[in-house]
């Protein structure tokens, strides 16, 4: 059985087209005609492997749907919407979406984005086995913040970040972004480089998506997200990881 995918879309025609395309990619597709139906499914059955969510839904909108999903689940989410205003795109990413495609769209663009998400979601299997208190220290662990009360540690092999003995819950995209920065601490990575490495898009993607995910990541790992010391902005160049001692 393939990976499970939920399509949250209130337009029957669009939902049907997406279903056929995604089934052709090997997904087991779950359809939801609205946010309420989607959230009810998640409560009863747990999260699918991936979600596609339209922003302009009848009843509860897509922004609220994504925010509710993010309360309990790290499932990768791609937004599909006719709303291409900068504010709407950034807002969708800030509430928890991993990627977005604007309507009208080509089915091949959706399938390409989903393949990229699926590759990133390959980390999910590791995350299920993450960070037991009695697990031995991994050789590749990165000390991000040496706070003696609760050190912040990245464990790439386990797919985990922990502060002291507590797990820091990152989405797959946030975790992949942190790993790329931590792989070469002190080196500035441009937004284009991060797009290529994390989103598999090279310079053809929208660099705003990097900025929004960095902001989300900072809220989870920085002592003071407004004055970041771990993931640092290098003006006009990109981002750099500075481990704190």
The string of DSSP codes covering 199-222 is IS-GGGS-THHHHHHHHHHHHHH-
What pLDDT does residue 141 have?
86
What pLDDT does residue 138 have?
53
CB distance 83 to 29 below 8 Å: no
Query: DSSP class of residue 147?
Result: -
CB distance 23 to 30 below 8 Å: no
CB distance 209 to 194 below 8 Å: no
Q: What is the dihedral of CA 56, 76, 194, 122, to 10 degrees?
A: -160
What pLDDT does residue 177 have?
93
What pLDDT does residue 124 have?
45
Answer CATH for 4-124 from 3.40.50.300, 3.40.50.1980, 3.40.50.2300, 3.40.50.1700: 3.40.50.2300
The per-residue pLDDT string of the chain (245 residues; one tens digit each, 9 = 90 and over) reads 578 999 999 999 999 999 998 998 889 999 999 999 999 999 999 999 899 999 989 899 999 999 999 998 988 899 988 876 777 888 888 899 988 888 888 888 888 888 777 776 664 444 444 444 444 445 578 899 988 889 999 998 888 899 998 999 888 889 989 999 999 899 999 999 998 888 876 545 678 889 999 999 999 999 999 999 999 999 989 999 997 66
Residues 6+ apart with CB under 8 A from 29: 4, 5, 6, 7, 19, 22, 23
Which run of H or E residues covers position 118?
helix 107-120
Say if domain 132-241 classifies as CATH 1.20.1050.10.
no
Residues 6+ apart with CB under 8 A from 86: 208
What pLDDT does residue 129 have?
46
Nearest residue to 197 via CA among 229, 214, 173, 232: 173
Residue spans per domain, the chain: 4-124, 132-241
What pLDDT does residue 1 have?
59
């Amino acid at each position: 059985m393939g990976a499970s995918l939920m399509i949250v879309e209130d337009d029957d025609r669009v939902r049907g087209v997406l279903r056929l395309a995604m089934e052709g990619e090997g997904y087991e597709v779950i359809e939801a005609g609205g946010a309420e139906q989607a959230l009810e499914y998640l409560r009863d059955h747990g999260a699918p492997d991936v979600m596609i969510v339209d922003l302009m839904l009848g009843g509860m909108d897509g922004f609220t749907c994504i925010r509710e999903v993010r309360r309990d689940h790290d499932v990768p989410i791609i937004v599909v919407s006719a709303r291409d205003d900068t504010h709407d795109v950034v807002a969708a990413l800030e509430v928890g979406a991993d990627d977005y495609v604007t309507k009208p769209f080509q089915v091949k663009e959706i399938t390409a984005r989903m393949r990229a998400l699926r590759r990133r979601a390959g980390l999910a299997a590791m995350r299920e086995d993450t960070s037991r208190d009695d697990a031995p220290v991994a050789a590749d662990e990165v000390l991000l913040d040496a706070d003696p009360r609760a050190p912040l540690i990245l464990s790439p092999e386990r797919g985990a970040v922990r502060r002291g003995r507590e797990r820091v819950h990152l989405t797959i995209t946030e975790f992949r972004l942190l790993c790329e920065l931590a792989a070469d601490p002190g080196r500035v990575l441009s937004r284009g480089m991060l797009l290529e490495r994390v989103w598999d898009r090279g310079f053809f993607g929208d660099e705003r998506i990097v900025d929004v995910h960095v902001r989300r990541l900072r809220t989870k790992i920085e002592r003071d997200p407004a004055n970041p010391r771990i993931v640092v902005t290098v003006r006009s160049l990109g981002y750099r990881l500075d481990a704190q001692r």
